[in-house]
Amino acid sequence: MSVSISSSFVEKQVIGPEDGVEQIQVLPAVEDKYGGVVVELKGDQTLDSEVYSSSLRFSMSQWKQKGKKGVWIKLPKQLSNLVDVTVKEGFRYHHAEPDYLMLVHWIPETVDPLPPNASHRVGIGAFVVSSKREVLVVQEANGFFRDTGVWKLPTGVVDEGEDIFAAAVREVKEETGIETEFVEMLAFRHSHKAFFRKSDLFFICMLKPHSFEIQKQDLEIAAAQVKFLLDEKIHHRIYDKT
């Protein structure tokens, strides 16, 4: 066996069953800022699980020799055939997105300090008040309050990279067709084990409507209307700001 190092990869030559030589390359990786490496395989690649397994074992030995710590492997969904092989080499699931699965392994024989997956989901409730002291409320077509007759504030989940106030404005537009503007944050609450073991942060945003021409979204909303008279003091608090 011989090991050679080039500018792009490390290669191991072993005796093969046919032509006598089989080349095993270190998986393509970039170093992170914490002494680890990140492997990001491409979805347009075709990798045999046995070839990949050999490359992964060889790569791990090379990274261990170099003192690397955390190893992250990003597998696109097109390479789902490699998940089992990766897990059998000691990797664990870290998180998943619609187009990939991230697996991770801590090389040193110490406590694994790698950061866990995101621990929280962020939701919003929209408190929309008209100039006539009316509050926008909805009835859900799905979910916990379906067919209960309960009227509630429009709610939703903040998208990745989205600001909380922007999410509140967006959710009201999506559910009721009403354009609004953000006024202020009223309150928030923190709960745990709310969604697949994740904790939940929920923010109530006060919004001012540009109109109250409701065009409800039939998929999520059974009914929407302006309802209930708001206390005069709270109403002045909203409209005195503008």
- pLDDT tens, residue by residue, 115-157: 989 889 999 999 998 877 889 999 998 878 888 889 999 999 9
- The count of structural domains within the chain is 2
Encode 94-119 in three state secondary structure. Answer: EEEECCEEEEEEECCCCCCCCCCCCC
SS3 content of the chain, % helix, strand, coil (to 5): 20, 40, 40
Residue 18 shares a structural domain with residue 97: yes
**Residue 112, in any domain of the structure:** no
pLDDT at 22 over 80: no
Instruction: Verify whether residue 174 is a known catalytic residue.
Output: yes
- 91 pLDDT exceeds 60? yes
What's the pLDDT at 144? Answer: 83
Mean pLDDT over 33-43 rounds to 93
Residue 176, both tokens: 């009721």
CATH of the domain at 56: 3.40.630.30
Do residue 71 and residue 124 come from a single domain? no
In a domain, 113, yes or no: no
Query: Greater confidence, 226 or 74?
Result: 74
- Does the residue 111 lie in any domain? no
Question: Of the residues 106, 136, 158, which one is the last residue of a structural domain?
Answer: 106
Residue 15 has pLDDT above 70, yes or no: no
Of 41, 73, 106, the last residue of a domain is 106
Give a yes or no: residue 28 inside a domain: yes
Structural domain boundaries, residue 200: 120-239
Please tell me whether residues 48 and 85 are part of one structural domain: yes
Q: How confident is the model at residue 36 (pLDDT cuts 50, 70, 90)?
A: very high
d(CA 13, CA 2): 6
At 239, the pLDDT band (50, 70, 90 cuts) reads low
Most confident residue range from 35-39, 213-217, 218-222: 35-39
Q: Say yes or no to pLDDT of 159 above 70.
A: yes
Predicted local distance difference test score (pLDDT) of residue 25: 86
Asked if pLDDT for residue 40 goes beyond 70, the answer is yes
Evaluate if residue 223 carries a pLDDT over 70: yes
Residues contacting 39, CB < 8 A, separation 6+: 27, 28, 29, 59, 71, 72, 73, 74
Residue 206 placed within a domain: yes
**What percentage of the chain exceeds 70 in pLDDT?**
85
User: Do 17 and 127 lie in a common domain?
Assistant: no
- Residue that finishes a domain, picked among 106, 140, 167: 106
Residue among 40, 174, 213, 220 flagged as catalytic: 174
Do residues 179 and 209 share a domain? Answer: yes
* Residue 115 within any structural domain of the chain: no
